[in-house]
């Protein structure tokens, strides 16, 4: 019989399991990113900008509800230390009932949105997307249990299969001329695939139909978190809604493609972190110092990765757009650059909110959402209005950048008390990535300049070679960079070394 583990041993095991989980998750999401990028390229060539505009205006509203499809209960399952059957059964049926209610709301919204936008296709899209809210409420519960148990291989296998099915179906619909149905199936097909496969991969099943009354803490946690997510997404979707009201579907389509090129890689980075980070932090929530140190390291590491991608977008947007989407999307270059500036602040903001969730500071999150939502919604609407039909998307992107930076500052000010995540720790975590991203942007730009007349592929190749030189110089002359690389390598070795 093995002796009980000490707290340090438990923490070490959680760290090793999290690093293994990150590698598995990044591997799975890397495949998903390749599939998603392929889908973006193919669909963007098959469908006109107006189609993306109509779907973007529709999804801008529906995503408000989609992000609370499980009523925050899947996060509660990961964060809570209970794992008895009664608790899990109650959370499952509450999430399923919430998804059913949201599906009914989506169906009722269809005619209203079609009238507001003056686009009959919006109602059709709402009716077809409604079932995914019921499905999502169910599948999110299975995913939460698998994250809690660190079953990352199974979870990411399901994710990759679902992504492939959704993408393949979307391309098939577009090829055969089904128009907006291609964009509908891209999302709905993934949810249907998860519903079929997840119960086969997860070793948990509901055993009763009861929803216990004593779960007031669970519903309170999920309620506060759902309010935060809802009001946050009201603000974040106001860009498409405002542009839909102030400009044309073609302009909305330009903005949508620029945003998609940035949000797709960001989701592929955040998803692995959202799978692993809550489980790790939930196990460290009783030790403030270890919790704060782990959060700081996660914010810093994710920022280094994300700023590396944003550097090439800011440095050479036109070649990236031409290579990925084609010549018809050249007008989105400056829009994408401004959005990238905002994305520099959005990722650390998301990481901070994720860490605060694991501390059960959902009331703080709710208050932040209620404060920031009207500021963001008003700012984005003002940007679309002042830019008008011709420059609405450009002004909207500028407003987005300013607002995201302001929200990060506001959040850092809010968490200065009653939490181990002090603003000084978060700023320390971001200083290095910011300097790194700025320098890398300069190298990318200088590397692309000699190849500006040689085509998009040559420009991107020149930028990447210059980036390689930058990394070489950094490792050669920076002791800090070498130390971080050494610690990372040792962590990876330790994570995959068998524990005796």
Q: Kindly report, residue by residue over 356-377, the tens digit of the pLDDT.
A: 777 767 777 778 878 887 888 8
Q: Has residue 2 been placed in a domain?
A: no
Kindly report, residue by residue over 293-340, the tens digit of the pLDDT. 777 777 888 888 888 889 988 998 888 888 777 666 767 788 888 888
Residue in this structure with the two tokens 């997510």, named with its chain if needed: 229
Q: From CA 282, how far away is CA 79, in angstroms rounded?
A: 5
CA separation, residue 24 to residues 15, 153, 474 (Å) = 14, 6, 28
Q: What is the overall mean pLDDT for the chain?
A: 77
Q: From CA 384, how far away is CA 376, in angstroms rounded?
A: 12
Kindly report, residue by residue over 388-417, the tens digit of the pLDDT. 777 778 888 888 889 889 888 888 887 766
Kindly report, residue by residue over 109-166, the tens digit of the pLDDT. 888 888 877 778 888 888 888 888 888 888 888 888 887 777 777 877 888 888 888 8
C-alpha 425 chain-centroid distance: 23
CA separation, residue 278 to residues 155, 214, 269, 271 (Å) = 15, 24, 15, 11
**Structure tokens of 428?**
């320390």
Kindly report, residue by residue over 272-300, the tens digit of the pLDDT. 566 566 666 666 666 667 777 777 777 88
- Closest to 291 in 3D by CA, of 305, 304, 277: 277
Q: Has residue 1 been placed in a domain?
A: no
Strands in 90-168 per DSSP E: none
Q: Has residue 88 been placed in a domain?
A: yes
**Structure tokens of 418?**
């009653």
Q: From CA 97, how far away is CA 71, in angstroms rounded?
A: 10
Burial letters for 368-404: b for 16+ Cβ neighbours within 10 Å, e otherwise? bbeebbeebbebbbebbeebeeeebbbbbbbbbbebb
3-state SS record for 97-121: HHHHHHHHHHHHHHHHHHHHHCCHH
Answer for the pair 286, 431: CB distance below 8 angstroms, yes or no.
no
Is it the case that residue 67 has pLDDT exceeding 80? no
Is it the case that residue 82 has pLDDT exceeding 70? no
Query: What are the residues whose beta carbons fall under 8 Å from the beta carbon of 135, sequence distance 6 or more?
Result: 99, 191, 192, 194, 195
Number of other residues whose CB lies within 10 A of the CB of residue 177:
10
| Sign for the pseudo-dihedral over CA of 366, 368, 369, 371 | positive
Looking at the structure of the chain, the number of domains it has is 1
Q: From CA 257, how far away is CA 393, in angstroms rounded?
A: 11
What is the per-residue pLDDT for 186?
A: 80
Q: Has residue 9 been placed in a domain?
A: no
The residue-averaged pLDDT of 72-87 equals 71
Using DSSP, state whether 499 is helix, strand or coil. coil
Is it the case that residue 465 has pLDDT exceeding 90? yes
Q: Has residue 415 been placed in a domain?
A: yes
Is it the case that residue 239 has pLDDT exceeding 80? no
Q: From CA 268, how far away is CA 273, in angstroms rounded?
A: 9
Is it the case that residue 203 has pLDDT exceeding 70? yes
Q: Has residue 226 been placed in a domain?
A: yes
Q: From CA 78, how far away is CA 145, in angstroms rounded?
A: 7
C-alpha 316 chain-centroid distance: 24
Q: Has residue 7 been placed in a domain?
A: no
Q: From CA 429, how far away is CA 351, in angstroms rounded?
A: 12
**Structure tokens of 228?**
């935060």
Q: From CA 101, how far away is CA 134, in angstroms rounded?
A: 8
Q: Has residue 301 been placed in a domain?
A: yes
Answer for the pair 281, 360: CB distance below 8 angstroms, yes or no.
no
Query: What are the residues whose beta carbons fall under 8 Å from the beta carbon of 14, sequence distance 6 or more?
Result: 279, 280, 283, 284
Query: What are the residues whose beta carbons fall under 8 Å from the beta carbon of 472, sequence distance 6 or more?
Result: none
| Bigger pLDDT: 13 vs 75 | 75
Q: From CA 493, how far away is CA 489, in angstroms rounded?
A: 6
3-state SS record for 78-91: HHCCCCCHHHHHHH
Answer for the pair 166, 111: CB distance below 8 angstroms, yes or no.
no
The residue-averaged pLDDT of 210-214 equals 56
217 phi, psi to nearest 5 deg: -65, -40
Q: From CA 336, how far away is CA 318, in angstroms rounded?
A: 10
| Bigger pLDDT: 432 vs 490 | 432
Q: Rounded to two decimals, what is the model's pTM?
A: 0.64
User: Domain limits at 177?
Assistant: 14-496
Q: From CA 320, how far away is CA 330, in angstroms rounded?
A: 10
């Amino acid at each position: 019989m093995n002796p009980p583990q000490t707290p340090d041993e438990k923490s070490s095991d959680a760290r090793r399991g999290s690093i293994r989980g990150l590698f598995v998750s990044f591997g799975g999401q890397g495949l998903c990113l390749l599939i998603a990028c392929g889908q973006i390229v193919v669909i963007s060539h098959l469908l006109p900008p107006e189609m993306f505009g109509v779907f973007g205006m529709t999804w801008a509203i529906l995503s408000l509800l989609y992000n609370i499809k499980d009523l925050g209960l899947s996060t509660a399952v990961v964060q809570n230390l209970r794992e008895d059957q009664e608790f899990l059964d109650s959370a499952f049926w509450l999430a399923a009932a919430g998804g059913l209610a949201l599906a009914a709301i989506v169906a009722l919204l269809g005619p209203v949105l079609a009238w507001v936008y003056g686009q009959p296709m919006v109602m059709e899209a709402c009716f077809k997307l409604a079932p995914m809210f019921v499905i999502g409420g169910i599948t999110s519960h299975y995913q939460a249990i698998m994250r809690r148990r660190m079953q990352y291989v199974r979870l990411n296998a399901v994710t990759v299969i679902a992504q492939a099915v959704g993408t393949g179906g979307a391309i098939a619909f577009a090829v055969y001329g089904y128009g907006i149905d291609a964009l509908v199936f891209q999302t709905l097909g993934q949810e249907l695939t998860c519903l079929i496969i997840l119960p086969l991969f997860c070793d948990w099943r509901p055993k009763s139909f009861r929803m216990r009354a004593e779960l007031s803490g669970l519903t309170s946690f999920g309620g506060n978190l759902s309010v935060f997510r809802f009001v946050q997404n009201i603000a974040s979707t106001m860009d498409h809604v405002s542009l839909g009201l102030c400009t044309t579907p073609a302009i909305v389509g330009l903005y949508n493609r620029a945003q998609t090129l940035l949000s797709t890689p960001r989701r592929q980075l955040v998803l692995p972190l959202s799978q692993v980070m809550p489980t790790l932090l939930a196990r460290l929530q009783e030790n403030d110092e270890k919790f704060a140190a782990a959060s700081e390291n996660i914010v810093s590491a994710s920022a280094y990765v994300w700023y590396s991608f944003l550097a090439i977008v800011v440095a050479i947007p036109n070649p990236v757009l031409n290579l990925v989407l084609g010549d018809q999307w050249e007008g989105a270059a400056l829009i994408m650059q401004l959005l990238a500036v905002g994305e520099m602040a959005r990722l650390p903001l998301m990481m901070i909110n994720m860490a605060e969730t694991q501390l059960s500071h959902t009331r703080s999150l709710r208050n932040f959402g209620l404060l920031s939502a009207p500021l963001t919604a008003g700012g984005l609407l003002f940007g679309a209005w002042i830019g008008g039909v011709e420059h609405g998307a450009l002004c909207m992107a500028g407003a987005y950048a300013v607002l995201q930076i302001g929200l990060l500052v506001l959040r850092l000010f809010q968490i200065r008390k009653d939490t181990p995540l002090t603003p000084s720790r978060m700023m320390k975590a971001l200083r290095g990535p910011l300097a790194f991203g700025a320098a890398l942007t300069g190298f990318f730009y200088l590397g692309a300049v000699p190849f500006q007349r040689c085509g998009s592929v040559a420009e991107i190749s020149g930028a990447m070679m210059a980036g390689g030189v930058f990394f070489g110089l950094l490792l050669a002359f920076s002791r800090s960079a070498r130390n971080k690389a050494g610690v990372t390598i040792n962590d990876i070795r330790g994570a995959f070394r068998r524990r005796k």
